[in-house]
């Protein structure tokens, strides 16, 4: 009696698990609801067997800052076929200094250090001047151990200037009205509000990644 009862319980649990898996696999999202299609696909960083997911953000955006822990958690468990790229958005002249700081940090090989620190300085330490003031950013970089002359040379370099101009073009071509936002394979745009929440956004992203992988096969 006890053995039969236990077998019945195990069978019920297995059935429930299978049902849950089937339900998860059948989850579908609709274009125009949880995501939108970009009219003219954007250029992506091509990597064989991978689908690009590009995050658009602005260091001065509190919503981008609050999304950052979710981004980091997702990156730790994201599908292996995802090529993740960070993209400063530039929706106005006042957004350019933060983007220039991002690319300066990248050029100096300090992006992993400076990107999160800049978010923290602006939103936790209330140093709002960092989003638009070159001199304040120069002092901030000095605090991170960057030589002032090296900062000036990199900040004003052709490479950084080209990246900033590219960010302006890509922000415009993506049709962004605000940030944070995510673009999958240069074709699909979603964000926490459209997707129905921060965590749901990453499920939409994974759905779109799978969609693009299937289309490529």
CATH number at residue 75: 3.40.30.10
Residue 119 within any structural domain of the chain: yes
Please report the pLDDT score of residue 25 as a whole number.
44
Q: What is the predicted pLDDT for the residue at 101? A: 98
pLDDT at res. 28: 86
Residue range of the domain that includes 169: 31-216
State the total domains in the chain: 1
pTM for the predicted model, two decimal places: 0.86
Total count of residues recorded for the chain:
217
Report if residue 134 sits inside a domain: yes
CA separation for the pair 4, 199 (Å, rounded): 41
pLDDT at 217 (0 to 100): 83
Residue 56, in any domain of the structure: yes
Q: Which residues of the chain have pLDDT under 70?
A: 1-26
Q: Report if residue 135 sits inside a domain.
A: yes
Query: Do residues 41 and 183 make contact, with C-beta atoms less than 8 angstroms apart?
Result: no
> Is there a domain that residue 3 lies in?
no
Contacts of range 68-73, beta carbons closer than 8 Å, 24 or more positions apart: 68/116, 68/119, 70/198, 70/199, 70/202
- Determine the distance from the C-alpha atom of residue 130 to the mean position of all C-alpha atoms in its chain, rounded to a whole number: 21
> What is the pLDDT at residue 196?
97
Q: Give the pLDDT of residue 17.
A: 34
Q: Judge whether 142 lies within some domain.
A: yes
4 located within any domain: no
Measured CA to CA, the distance from residue 204 to residue 191 in angstroms comes to: 9
156 domain residue, yes or no: yes
pLDDT digits (tens, 9 = 90+) for 205-217: 999 999 999 998 8
């Amino acid at each position: 009696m006890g053995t039969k009862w236990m077998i019945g319980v195990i069978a019920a649990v297995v059935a429930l698990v299978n049902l849950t898996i089937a339900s998860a696999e059948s989850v579908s999202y609709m274009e125009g609801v949880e995501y939108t299609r970009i009219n003219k696909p954007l250029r992506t960083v091509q990597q064989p067997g991978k689908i690009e997911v590009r995050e658009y953000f602005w260091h001065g955006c509190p919503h981008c800052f609050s999304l950052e822990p979710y981004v980091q958690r997702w990156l730790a468990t994201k599908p292996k076929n995802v090529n993740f790229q960070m993209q400063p958005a530039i929706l106005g002249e006042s957004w350019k200094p933060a983007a220039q700081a991002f690319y300066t940090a990248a050029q100096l090989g300090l992006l992993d250090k400076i990107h999160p620190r800049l978010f923290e300085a602006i939103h936790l330490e209330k140093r709002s001047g960092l989003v638009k003031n070159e001199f304040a950013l120069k002092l901030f970089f000095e605090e991170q151990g960057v030589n002032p002359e090296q900062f000036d040379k990199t900040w004003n370099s052709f490479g950084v200037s080209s990246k900033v101009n590219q960010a302006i073009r890509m922000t415009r071509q993506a049709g962004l009205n605000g940030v944070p936002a995510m673009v999958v394979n240069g074709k699909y745009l979603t964000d926490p509000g459209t997707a129905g929440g921060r965590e749901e956004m990453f499920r939409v992203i994974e759905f779109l990644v799978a969609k693009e992988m299937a289309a490529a096969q």
